[in-house]
Amino acid sequence: MDNFLPAVNVENARVYLGGQEILHNISWQVRRGERCFILGANGAGKTTLVKLLMGFAWPLFGARVQVLGKTFGHVNLLELRKSIAWVSPFMHKWLEDGAW
C-alpha cells in the first residue's frame, strides 16, 4: 500500500436511511498513522459514518469513499473488512442482526 494515501478518505458523502438524511456532504480524511475518535450526541450520525466506512451504508451518487487506499465500488468489501478493526460495546447487536 502507498504510504501517501490516506487511511480514510470520504468526499461529499450524503447518506439517507429510512427516508431521512443522516449524513450531509461529509468530507473527511484520516492520514495513515493518525488517531481520531468520533464524538457526538445520540442521533448525530456516528454509527452511520462507521457503517459508511465499513460498506454497510452507501452514499448517494457522486460521493467517493476510500478506506486503506481501496475505492468503494471497485473493491471486494468482504475482503477489505478483514483489514478493518471496529470496536463497539454494541457489536453483539450487529452480529445478532446478521449484518455481517
Residue pLDDT, tens place only, 32-80: 989 888 889 998 999 899 999 999 999 998 999 999 999 999 999 999 9
On whether residue 1 sits in a domain, the answer given is no
On whether residue 56 sits in a domain, the answer given is yes
On whether residue 86 sits in a domain, the answer given is yes
On whether residue 3 sits in a domain, the answer given is no
On whether residue 49 sits in a domain, the answer given is yes
pLDDT, residue 24, reads 95
pLDDT over 80 (residue 4): no
Q: Alpha-carbon distance 74 to 95, whole Å?
A: 26
The count of domains in the chain is 1
Give the domain extent around 91.
Answer: 8-97
pLDDT over 90 (residue 88): no
On whether residue 2 sits in a domain, the answer given is no
pTM here is 0.80
On whether residue 85 sits in a domain, the answer given is yes
Domain CATH code at residue 41? 3.40.50.300
pLDDT, residue 45, reads 92
